[in-house]
Amino acid sequence: MEDDELALLRDTAARIAESLRPADTTRLTAADPSRGAAVLERAGLTGMRAAGATATQVAVVATELARTLAPVAYVDREAGDDAALTLALLCADLVGVARGALDDALQHAHTRAQFGRAIGAFQAVAHLAADAAVDLAAAEAFASHAAWAVDALPPDEATAVATAAREVCAEAAVSVCETAIQILGGMGMTWEHLAHVRLRRAHAERRRGVAGERKAGALPDLRALDSPAEAAFRSELIAWIDRFDAGAHDSAGRPRLAWHRALYAAGYVGVSFPAASGGRGMPAAYEAIVNDELGFRGMPPVPPIGHLAHALRRFGSDAQRGTHLADLLSGAVAWCQGFSEPGAGSDLAALTTKARRDGDAYIVDGAKIWTSDAVDSDRCLLLCRTGGAGHKGLSMLIVPMDAPGVRVDPIVTAFETREFAQVFFDGVRVPVGDLLGAEGDGWGIAMALLAYERGPADIGWTSRLAAAVADMRVRGTGGDPVLAHRLDHAERWLYALRLRVRTRLRMRGPEADGDPGPEGSIDKLLLTRVDKLIGRLRLDLLGDEAMTGYLWSRAAGIYGGTEQIQRDIVAQRVLGLPRGR
């Protein structure tokens, strides 16, 4: 079924569900007689043929009915020996209950005022709502996949998927319902309000046993979901990896650039960029395939230049794209990104590096910090101030790193690397033609660029985490049941992250014309959560051998914008909560 058909079905089901929404708990009695095929009867009202309904169709209707707590006990549908179908419907119900709980909480956060403003403007409330949105996004991705699996996979695989999905959906639903009560305050603890009903229902379905469900077992490899064209591309990539000779591409001076150039020469950097710019014109999902296979094979990731390349592609002039884009993708010229400053990290609008117009050039003075790969870079995409205070006074310049007045001081990290540096600009002269966009466009360009930098697939991180989990599976947990449970838990949440990433990449279109937008902050928060989960587990399982990875997992909540800033973005730009003062 096409996405637009599912959307129409969802909208129709939502209208029916709203008509059945109970006003309070009086219509929600334990003796509700609706059982069996009730969900299909309701689905029939949407115009869907009940007899031939797919699990995906039924799950869409089930989710909407659960969202409003419509009095239809569709999860009690007699499914016979079809454990996967029963579990998939439970997942749909859990997602619907959680969605309804969050909707109620958001409405309250908009209308309830304290200290002269809506409570949703308070960061404490906004961050609760943002975390709930991350839980819900993971559950929605897994629930949709579970329903699809019932229709598309062999029964054993479908049951494995649906069993794992139920675990994630139940955990997420309980968390979201608990959060909703916290946001609702005392109102959420009254008998008449539906909040406690939602929480009771989430717990009941979390504990419910389903005959035939699997308590453990490997989840199907998501790489098996490739389309024929994607599978052919993956096979081509695997063959190249198998032939790759690292020694033939070794470079004592700039090993990262040597890898970049070898990967580009083989056709695996910027595959979603137009051919005229040095890419292959493929859909954005192919970028994830490259990152996946490199991560699974223990190879270095794709050079992290996608966010810079997208900024040039979208905002550069024809002359700038012609001069810089192909060289950036190929690694012929190395680039870095100059954003953070000693006094402006999360608050980029407060940066003080200035660019003063002087005839046909800008004179740049200031300093940047935490600039990745600055030591080896030839160009810097520099966010600087050309106007007054605030974000409206910011512009973006392309600055040669060998220009007089540029100084780079490496920073040694806790992992004993020198990939970061502080960069000083002292009277650096930059031609006006190297202004990206127009004066004052810097903030918009920076926000679009950061949306790509936060993407789990764009930075090649999901496959590294998957490889880490696979390694722990091979090593085993030494018979420790607690560690075994934590490994199962981490693997399920990583699977949810990867499902979310697949869906989001397919929404970008064939040439990645749109940036990930504010919902990319949900992806980044989910990535951060999973990264920390796996980093701590590896440390507890492997000891000092895993310390570097653990320390990197702590950095996941910092680079690309801190967790706290990502929560602000989700709360305000995704959930629509008011800004704080």
What residues act catalytically? 453
CA atoms within 13 A on the CB side of 158: 22
**How many angstroms separate the CA atoms of 235 and 237, rounded?**
5
CA atoms within 13 A on the CB side of 510: 5
Sign of dihedral through CA atoms 387, 393, 396, 402? positive
CA atoms within 13 A on the CB side of 566: 27
**How many angstroms separate the CA atoms of 223 and 217, rounded?**
17
Token output for 458: 């764009």
CA atoms within 13 A on the CB side of 379: 21
Integer Rg of the chain from CA: 26
Residues β-bridged to residue 363: 356, 429
With contact defined as beta carbons under 8 Å apart, do 94 and 152 qualify?
Answer: no
Q: Letter for the amino acid at 41?
A: E
Pairing of strands 379-385, 335-338: parallel
With contact defined as beta carbons under 8 Å apart, do 161 and 184 qualify?
Answer: no
CB-based contacts of 4, cutoff 8 Å, min separation 6: none
**How many angstroms separate the CA atoms of 289 and 460, rounded?**
10
Token output for 489: 């838990």
**How many angstroms separate the CA atoms of 93 and 58, rounded?**
11
Q: Letter for the amino acid at 290?
A: V
CA 19 to each of CA 13, 42, 556: distance values in angstroms, whole numbers, following the listed order = 10, 12, 44
Sign of dihedral through CA atoms 282, 284, 290, 292? negative
Nearest to 372 by CA among 168, 160, 558: 558
Pairing of strands 361-368, 435-436: unpaired
With contact defined as beta carbons under 8 Å apart, do 261 and 330 qualify?
Answer: yes
Q: What is the largest CA-CA distance in the chain?
A: 81
Pairing of strands 379-385, 394-400: antiparallel
Nearest to 75 by CA among 7, 155, 156, 143: 143
Residues β-bridged to residue 398: 381
